[in-house]
């Protein structure tokens, strides 16, 4: 059985790590290069770096900062935010990223997923899906969660898989920053439906939440931010706990 992955997320705004609740009320969480090194040293399996206002501000992800982070760590590193062309992917991979995450641009131009997968290989293309439940239906949101679409989350997840995405980063906007647990139901639904790994994001607040998203949610990886940034749950302790609960992890 493949080991489950623990992935800290660095949400970047103006060169600093930030964290909010339901995608708003952002507060400073530290220097991204320092945090990245700490997580790498603690045994995180991967790292995700998202320039959360890049699409909104029509800026490109800070390639210089990507290079600094890549030099500080020795684990796989996914970068997203403002990625909208094949050239953007090339720049970030050259800056030190191992995988690239796209969200808003993929919704606007779904063919980009095909183009990027063809050019660089599915293994380094992650499609991020920000989902919110509206009157019992899960809808995709773009532009850092600010813009609702008419795309149903499950249908979009199926399409991006068919177009060549190598992984899906599924963030529940309803659970984000609440520390009430991951959105296990929709995570399990999409995990069962697809042949590619699903990273669950949004809602981590305790060690049992991770156990539940791996067992009930069928996630391949779990991503969290504030509980790691503010030292509420050390990664080594989390992995020991998961191992004791029968969840396969890399120690």
Catalytic site residues? 11, 130
SS3 43: coil
- Mapped onto helix, strand or coil, the DSSP state of residue 232 is coil
For residues 45 and 167, give the distance between their C-alpha atoms in angstroms, rounded to a whole number: 15
In the numeric block, the tokens 């990245």 are attached to 36
Helix (H, G, I), strand (E, B) or coil at 25: strand
In whole angstroms, give the CA distance from residue 225 to residue 4. 17
Burial class (CB in 10 A: 0-12, 13-18, 19+), 64: exposed
Reference 160, options 230, 212, 104; nearest CA is 104
Residue 11 token pair: 């949400």
């Amino acid at each position: 059985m493949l080991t489950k992955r623990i992935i800290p997320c660095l949400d970047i705004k103006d060169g600093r790590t930030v964290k909010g609740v339901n995608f708003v009320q952002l507060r400073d969480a530290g220097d991204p290069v320092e945090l990245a090194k700490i997580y790498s040293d603690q045994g995180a399996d991967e790292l995700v770096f998202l320039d959360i206002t890049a699409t909104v501000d029509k800026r490109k992800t800070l390639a210089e900062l990507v290079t600094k982070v890549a030099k500080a760590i020795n684990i796989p590193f996914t970068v997203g935010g403002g990625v909208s062309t094949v050239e953007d992917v090339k720049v970030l991979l050259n800056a030190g990223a191992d995988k690239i995450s796209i969200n808003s641009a993929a919704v606007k131009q779904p063919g980009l997923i095909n183009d990027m997968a063809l050019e660089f290989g599915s293994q380094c293309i992650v499609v991020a899906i920000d989902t919110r439940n509206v009157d019992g239906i899960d809808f995709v949101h773009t532009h850092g969660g600010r813009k609702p679409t008419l795309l149903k989350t499950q249908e979009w997840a199926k399409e991006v898989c068919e177009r060549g995405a190598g992984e899906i980063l599924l963030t529940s906007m309803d659970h984000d920053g609440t520390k009430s647990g991951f959105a296990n139901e929709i995570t399990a639904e999409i995990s069962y439906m697809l042949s590619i790994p699903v990273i669950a994001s949004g809602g981590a607040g305790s060690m049992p939440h991770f156990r539940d998203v791996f067992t009930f949610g069928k996630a391949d990886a779990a991503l969290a931010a504030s509980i790691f940034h503010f030292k509420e749950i050390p990664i080594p302790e989390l992995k020991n706990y998961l191992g004791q609960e029968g969840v396969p992890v890399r120690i």
